[in-house]
Every structure is written in structure tokens, then in C-alpha cells.
Structure 1
Amino acid sequence: MTVKLSQAALKQMPQNVGVPRYDQANLKAGIVHFGIGNFHRAHQAVYLDELFNGGSDHEWAIVGAGVLPSDETMRQKLSDQDWLTTVVEQDSGHRITHITASMIDYLEPADTEATISRLADPTIRIVSMTITEGGYFIDPASGVFNPKHPAIVADAANIKSPKTVFGLILAGLMRRRDEGTEPFTVMSCDNIPGNGHVTSDAVSGLAALIDPGLAKWVKDNVAFPNSMVDRITPATTDRERQMLATDFGVEDNWPVFCEPFKQWVLEDHFPTGRPALEKVGVTFVKDVAPYELMKIRILNGGHAAIAYPAALMDIHFVHEAMEEPLIRDFLTKLERDEIIPVLPPVPGMPFDEYFDLIVRRFSNPKIGDTIQRLCQDGSNRQPKFILPTTADRLKAGKSITGLALVSALWCRFCAGTTDTGKPTNYLDASAERLKVEALKAKDDPKAFLAMSDIFGEVGTAPTFVETFTRHLRTLWDKGTRETLTLYLQGKL
């Protein structure tokens, strides 16, 4: 028999399920968060839950917000269970299940006025977001905000009823300015280099389309701290719902399964205050950049490296990919030979130890993270996680053999079939375009590299073009397995 998750059912939970040690009814909102997905609920919401369990900072509860149809779906699922979430942390020798109650409300995405009003509320002092790498309206190759995007242009023309996250944030800031309320801090929790700077560019860039003076006010008065966030968190399917019900007796509309490891490094720049997250393991620093670069290039770059060969070899789970010697050895050689050597040092964090930790995390058989999840949104992830390292090595005159192979594997994947002919179904805003160019590239590899908004100057660098071309032709002629073998033997 299972217990349906709700506030009233907390006292009925099985003994092996942790419940909040605080009363959700006594919490007060201090944060509005855009993008209530699995990662947020396994990361920021868990840190706050741990802080609240310690008996402090109960005025920093979360109010959810969003702009997409999927946000409304999540809102309805969580509303049905009083905004509670069951979090299952597990690896080979560790499994802990607990319920978080750090969110106390979720604004209807369709109710723009209600969202702006809540943003203008003086009790809201932080607005945070996990809207994915593709949600920032930036040019993939340059990383620069694109003020000509139709959604941004539309918000600039009607800022009183915006449709984007940045339009809502700006509308909330404008109302606070008009009412004499201090601006809230805007905190990105997405995997983007310099995510605070990128967010500042988006908000001030939108403001500049409305009034240059407004843009200057944003830059002079609003804080955008940089951050590095980390926790491997797969998507939820019926598999996870059934596991929770069978193994723990809890019925949750949208539980979160994740690894035990989590990390959060934050620039300590919160003019209107912040929760004491250092009490629960958050690292506050003056400069997040070295930590962020390490994580994005070693972990996220590592995910990108194993995703496409695994998909082409019809491997379903990430831990299964790590059990394949060709993929595991490819990742190790790529990281140690090309990625790690061009990273600046990080205080107290030897890269070899960090990479060993990443290998153990990728190899965790209990997570159920899928290769399909890692393959999605490549048009945004490649320019952020792989191509910057390629650019650094090209500038230094160093080999890019492995990195060019990652790009060639992505191109081969985008062509639409695995090595055995199965379809490579994936989610990407540019999926149709990628497939068209990838199929052209079978005969003319330069066709794929001609997507300058993705590859930038890397796509025209003679060394990269030649190496990519050679690798792509080998993949088509010999297949993924033989190509990886040649790379590991130094014959590619």
C-alpha cells in the first residue's frame, strides 16, 4: 500500500522516508525561482530544505514561476501534493529518500500580472533561475546576447505584459524602481560560463531596447552574482515513480532521483541579503570563474564527449557507456590530453582528483541517467562545453584530435541514425537544420561547420576543418567503434 504525497500525509510516511522538521505553513517567501524542473528541486530546493531543517532562515522559502506550457504542467503536478517533492539520492552503496517542503507557492505562468506583482513584493529579495543553456537568447558561437530575437523584440514593445523570463524580471525591477523598493538580486543557476554576466547582459540588453537610461539603472543597481552548480539529475519517468512506490511506499506525481553528490559555488554579492547557505555546504567566493570553468569543461564537456559515441553504439544509460572500455578510455584520453591541460588552476582542487570523481559519478549505476538526455540541445551545449576548449588549444597551437572527434561524433549523430540504422531521436531547437546539414556533411564535411552561429571561428580554422573532415569520413566509413579504436591507438 502506498501513501499519496501531501502535507496531511507527512505523518503517515514510512520510517525510511525523511520528512521536513519544519512546518511549511510557517515559511515566508524570499525567493522567486523560474524553472521548477528536476535539477532545481534536487539542488537549490534541497540546500534550502537542509537550512530550514536546521531551524534558521525560514523567511527564504521559494515561490515557483515560469513561462512555458511545461511549467504549467509541473505547477499542476506539484499543486496536487502541496508543493512537496520526494528526492531520492542513490549510488551503489547509498540510498536516502527525503521529502522537501522549501517551496510554498507556484505562480500560474499565464498570469503575467500576478508574477510581476510578486516580483515587486519587497519580501522577494532574490530571483533565481534554471532555464537551461538555451534560454538566454544568446548567440551560441559568440555568447553575446541577441537583442533581435523576436521574443525579446516583442517584450520590448510590450514590457507591461512580457512573455519571457527576462521580460518578467525587468518588469518586476521597473515596478520596484517606481515604488521605491530596492532591486532584488538576480541569480542564475544554469551551466553557462559567467552566468551572472550573461544574465546581466540579457536583462540590461532588453532594457536598452526600451530606454538607455533604464539599462544604465539596471547595470548600476542590480546584482547578478555568478555561480557554479552541480548535481547529476536525470529526467523523471514512470520508471522512477514506480520505483518510489514499490521501494518506499510513496506516490509522488514527479519525484526526483539524483546522485548523492552536490556542489554550489556562489559569488557573495547579495545587496538585499541572502540565506546563510554556507551552513549547509555552499561555498561563497569572490571569483567563481575557475570553479565554473573546471566544472563546465571537465564534467559537462565529458558528458558531451561520451553522449554521441554511446548513442551511435545504441547504449541507453550513462553508466552502461562507462562500462564500455572504448568510451571510458576515450573520455580519459580526451580529458587528460586536451581538456585539463588548458584549464587555469582552481584553489584546493587538483584536476586529476576532480576527474576521478567525475568518472565515479558517471559510472553510478543507480542514477539511471540516459544517453538521450545528454544528447539533447547540442546546438547550445557544444558551443559552451566543447568548442571553447577547442578554440583555446587552436590559439596555443596544440593538438585538437580528440576535441575534433567529439564534434564529428555530434555531426554523425545529427544525421539521424545510429551505426545500426536506428533513429537518433533527440530534442534540439535546431534539430531539423542540424539533420539537413549533417546529411550534407557526409559528402561535404564543411557544410556542417558552415553553421557559424554554432562553430564561430573554430569552424574555419584550417587545422580543425582538416581534422574534423578526416574524423567524420572515418566515422561514416568504419563506424564509431573502429574510429574510437583508431583514436586510442594514436592512428586517427
Structure 2
Amino acid sequence: MAIKLSNQSIEQLSSKVKTPNYSRDSLSAGIIHIGIGNFHRAHQAMYMHKLFNKGKALDWGIRGAGIKSYDAVMRTKLQQQDWLTTVVELDSNNLTADISASMIDFIENDGPSLMTALARANIRIVSLTITEGGYFMDGETGDFDLTHPDIQADINDIEHALTVFGLIIHSLQYRREHNIAPFTVLSCDNIPHNGDVAKRAVLEMARVLDKDLASWIESNVSFPNSMVDCITPATSQEERKRLTELFDIEDQAPVFCEPFRQWVLEDNFVNGRPPLEDVGVEFVDDVAPYELMKLRVLNGGHASIAYPGALLGISFVHEVMNTPLIRAYFKKLVTEEIIATLPAVPGVNFDDYISIIETRFSNPEVRDTVSRLCQDASNRLPKFIFPIITANLEHGKGCKGLALVVALWSHLCFISSDNTSGIVLDDPQADRLMKQARLAKSDPAVFLQMKDVFGVISDSDIFKQHFTFWSTMLGKSDPQNTLKYYTSNKY
């Protein structure tokens, strides 16, 4: 019978399970983390867990927090098991389970409780995983949306703030008035320049409330940028069942993640920090090169293999990467056209990084789906592929392979318009994309006329030429032969 996870039951767990070698009674809070989802528990919380296992930084325990209804659900689940989490690393050769105890409690899911906690002097870092939507960015400009009703509500009644940024501003105001040192705001969300984005949100909101407070925050609070990486699938009943079968543990909210984990941080903390470099975190002066590398190789790589995978009827990402033809296409594309756009990254060998990405994508235990990678392409491609094309065009470099990525997407849109194909286009602009793909059947360049999607690359004659070539070949032949033609260097 499975053992229900709790402080008392840790001693009873199987020897296959790694358990903390530190006493939770020895931990005290130094961090409040807002947004206790799977990614935080697989990533930041695990780095802290590893640090505590070394007997270090025991005054940097994590207090969980959240303001959304789903945060309350997570709090209830974790409370039943004394805030413990089972983290299963999906190594393709050997699955391991580790009981993480780095979170010492979870603040009540309401504004006043979080306000009180944020005001305490022992809290020196407030970290965030609140998703891109939690930053209130305007969808078109990327600017902070001061007009959002939730932001306006906080501005009009900051004493009862309900947004993350309203709560942060209120607590910093309290700290300033009571001569309590401020904290560092540390975004751990997977968005470029995440610290700058958080800083802009706090400062713009604070300026409306109190310009002097805003100036004090700008001078005294730090918002380091960070790059985070760890593929962490959603947890379903299947994972909970698997945990029971493999490790005899009953956990209400286990986390399954890949064994790879990376965190690159700007060393800019106003009130101290734990020595995370002792557990593999990289502290650098500038995160931007690392962010760009990840966005273009990992995210761009995902987009590159998604569409041929879908067209070939493949369900899982590891199956796509273990298809020799697609793997050869991926390697050629990344090596010749994606890496070419990157500046040197300190301490990184690009060949080694590509090999790591190939290994990660090939991991059968992660079971990431092709359908997930294909979602929302009209928003993802402008973020992950089109900037690479633009960079290559600006520097006179090739974009034949990148044009093939876009042609494969266009072909997928066309195939999806046939109800008998069995392929469903999961995109907010699906109807428009399918219609445009049909119109482009005789003249592929018509697909590029969606200026709001393609931007400046639709004006490039070079890109149009390559896109038209591949689209014509896909129309006359099939994806396999087109990929073979590309990998054979005939074009």
C-alpha cells in the first residue's frame, strides 16, 4: 500500500526515494515565492533543496504564496502533506524520486495575509512565477497595461491590493516608512528580460500612486533578469498513479520533470542572496546572450520540428527527434542558420549545447506532445522563428532552412483545411490561416500577405523566393521528399 507523503512518513519511504538530509526545523524563511506551480517546484525550489542538503543557507527557506483560485487549490493539496513535494526526474535511463522540503509553509490565499508576510524583515527575496499573463503586458506593444481593471482597482485602493504588483508596492511602501530594508524582486518566468518587465510594471504603477515612492523603489529595489529552463509537463492522474507504482508514494501534487535544469541569474540582489552557485546556478553580468540562445535554439528548435512531425502523423516529440530524417533536418537548420545569429555566450560551446538540446528532445520519458508544440503558431513563430529570419537577412546570411519551417507550417494549415485529414489546427487564427493557405495554393507568396503575422519578412524577395520554392515542392511532392531534398544540400 502506498505511503501518504508527510513529515512523519518520510522515514517509512522506500530506499529508492531520496529524502532530505536536513531538518525542516532548522529552516527559517528568507524567500516568498508567488505562484507555486509545477515549474517552481521543479526548478527554484529544487535548487534551494539541494543547497539545504549541503547544510547551507538554512535561513533562506521558501514561503509559498498565491492570489489566484488555483493557488488555493494547490495550497490545500500541499498542506495535507506538510508542504512536501515529490519531484520525479524523467531520466531516459533511470527515473528518480526526490522529496523536496525547501518550502516551509504556504501563506493563506488572501491579500491581507500576503501583505503582512511581505512586510517582514526576514523576507529578502520575493520571487515570481505568475506566467506571462500575470505581468499585464499589452498584447500589441508589450508595454505594461495601466488601464487594466485589476491594476486600476489596486491604484484606487492600494491598502486592499489584489494584484501581485499592487501587493509588492504596498509592502515596499510599508518597509520604506518603517525603515525596513527592501527585498529583491526576482522573476522566474519564462519571458525575455523578465526582471526588466517586472521592474517596469512596479515602477509605472508606483509612479501613479506616489512619485517619491517610485523614485525610492528605483534606487533601492533590484529586479535581476534570469533565464530559467527545465521541461516540466503537467501532472495528471496518470503521473500520480505512476508515482505510486514506481515508488509507493501517495502525493496529491507530484512534479515530473526532465533531469536537465538551468538557471542563469544577474548577480544583482539588494538584501543578500543564498549561495546558489554552489548548486549549479550561473551568476553573470548579462543574461541576454543566454536568453537569446535558449529562445532561438530550444524554442526555435521546437517550432522547427513541430510541423514536419505533425505532417508525418507523429504524436510525441521524442518520436520526432528519433526520426533520422527530421533529426538531420534539425541539426542542419540549427547549425547553419540559427547558431549563426547568436553572439558568443560565455562558457558555452554551441556544438555541446545543440547536443544537449537533441538529448532533451529525444527523452521518451518526458512524453511532450507534437500537438502542444503546434499550438498558437501564429503567435509563437513571430517570437521564435521570424526574428532569426530577420537577423539572417539583415546580415546577408542564409534562410533557406528557416523558409522551409514556414513552408511546412503553411502546408500544415492547408492540410488542416481538409476536414478528412484528421489534423486540427489549434490556433486562435485557425480559420484565417486555413483560408489564406487555400488561397496560396497556386501562388505560395499569398500566404505571406498576412502582414500582422509576418511583419517585415513578408517584404523580403529573398525570403519569398525560398518560401515559394519549398511550398511548391511540398505541393507537388510530400514532406519526406522535401526534407530529403533539404538535407541533401541540393538547393
The answer to whether TM tops 0.5 is yes
Conserved in 2, the CA contact under 8 Å of 1:136 and 1:199? yes
Q: Does 1:255 align with 2:254?
A: yes
Aligned residue for 1:124? 123
**1:54 correspondence with 2:46:** no
Letter in 2 for 1:306: I
Letter in 1 for 2:381: Q
Match of residue 433 from structure 2 = 438
Query: What is the distance in 1 between the residues matched to 2:22 and 2:415?
Result: 50
11-20 or 76-85, which moves further after superposition? Answer: 76-85
% of aligned pairs identical?
A: 51
Distance 2:156 2:411 in 1: 41
Q: Are the structure 2 counterparts of residues 141 and 243 from structure 1 closer, same or farther at C-alpha, using a change threshold of 3 Å?
A: same
CA distance in 2, matches of 1:471, 1:68: 46
C-alpha displacement of 1:38:
1.7
Indicate the SS of the match to 1:397: coil
Matches of residues 407-418 of structure 1 in structure 2 within 5 Å? 407-410=406-409, 417=416
- Larger CA deviation: 439-448 vs 321-330: 439-448
Secondary structure class of the residue paired with 1:348:
coil
The answer to whether 1:302 aligns with 2:297 is no
Judging changes above 3 Å, is the alpha-carbon distance between structure 1 residues 141 and 458 closer, same or farther for their aligned structure 2 residues? farther
1:36 matched residue in structure 2: 36
- Separation in 1, partners of 2:408, 2:149: 32
Alignment CA distance shift 1:333-1:200 (3 Å):
same
Which residue of structure 1 aligns with residue 270 of structure 2?
271
Can you list the C-alpha shifts for 1:117-175, whole angstroms capped at 9, x where unaligned? 22222211111122334543335676544444454444434434444333333333233
The verdict on how the C-alpha distance between 1:76 and 1:418 changes in structure 2, with shifts beyond 3 A counting, is farther
Q: Which residue in the other structure is 1:362 paired with?
A: 361
Instruction: Answer yes or no: is the 8 Å Cα contact 1:437–1:448 preserved in 2.
Output: no
Structure 2 unmatched runs, 5+: none
Q: Which runs of 5+ in 1 are unaligned?
A: none
Q: How far 1:72 moved relative to its partner? A: 2.6
Count of aligned residue pairs for this structure pair = 485
How many Å apart are 1:50 and its aligned residue? 0.8
Partner SS state of residue 104, structure 1: strand
TM-score scaled by length of structure 1: 0.88
Looking at structure 2, the residues matched to 187 and 418 of structure 1 have their Cα atoms a distance apart, in angstroms, of 44
Secondary structure of 2:348's counterpart equals coil
How many angstroms does 1:106 deviate by?
2.2
Q: Contact 2:318/2:361 (CA < 8 Å) preserved in 1?
A: yes
What letter corresponds to residue 31 of structure 1 in structure 2?
Answer: I
Q: 1:394 to 1:139 in 2, by over 3 A?
A: farther
Correspondence for 1:85: 85
For residues 105 and 375 of structure 2, what CA distance do their matches in structure 1 show? 30
Deviation at 1:481, TM superposition (A): 4.1
**Paired residue secondary structure (1:180):** coil
The Cα offsets for residues 250-306 of structure 1, whole Å up to 9 and x where unpaired, read as: 111221222222222211111101111112121212222222222222122212222
Deviations 1:83-122 (A, max 9, x none): 111111232333321100111222344x122222222222
Q: Is the 8 A contact 1:234 1:373 kept in 2?
A: no
Compute the displacement of 1:227 (Å): 1.4
After superposition, residues 163-312 of structure 1 pair within 5 angstroms as 163-312=162-311
Is contact 2:416-2:434 (8 Å) kept?
A: no
Q: After alignment, is 366-375 or 336-345 more displaced?
A: 366-375
1:225 CA displacement: 0.8
Q: 1:342 to 1:140 in 2, by over 3 A?
A: farther
* Structure-2 separation of matches of 1:366 and 1:134: 29
Deviation for aligned residue 1:337: 1.4
Moved more, 320-329 or 402-411: 402-411
- Distance in 2 (CA, whole Å) between partners of 1:82 and 1:481 is 52
Question: Cα distance, 1:375 vs. partner?
Answer: 3.7
Q: CA shift at 1:473, angstroms? A: 6.8
Question: Displacement of 1:312 after TM fit?
Answer: 3.8
Mapped contact 1:228–1:291 kept (Cα < 8 A)? yes
- Give the C-alpha shift of residue 209 in structure 1: 3.9
**1:33 CA displacement:** 1.4
Query: Larger Rg: 1 or 2?
Result: 2
CA deviations on 1:391-417 (whole Å, 9 max, x unpaired) are 212222333233344345456657894
Residue matched to 1:20 = 20
Instruction: Give secondary structure in 2 for the equivalent of 1:91.
Output: coil
Work out the CA distance in 1 between the residues paired with 2:302 and 2:91: 18
Q: Residue 472 of structure 1: CA displacement? A: 5.8
Measure the CA separation in 1 of the matches of 2:6 and 2:417. 44
> 1:480 and 1:161, CA in 2 relative to 1: closer, same or farther beyond 3 A?
farther
Q: Where does 1:89-100 land on structure 2 (aligned, <5 Å)? A: 89-100=89-100
Farther-moved stretch of structure 1 (367-376 vs 278-287): 367-376
User: What TM-score comes out, normalization by structure 2 length?
Assistant: 0.88
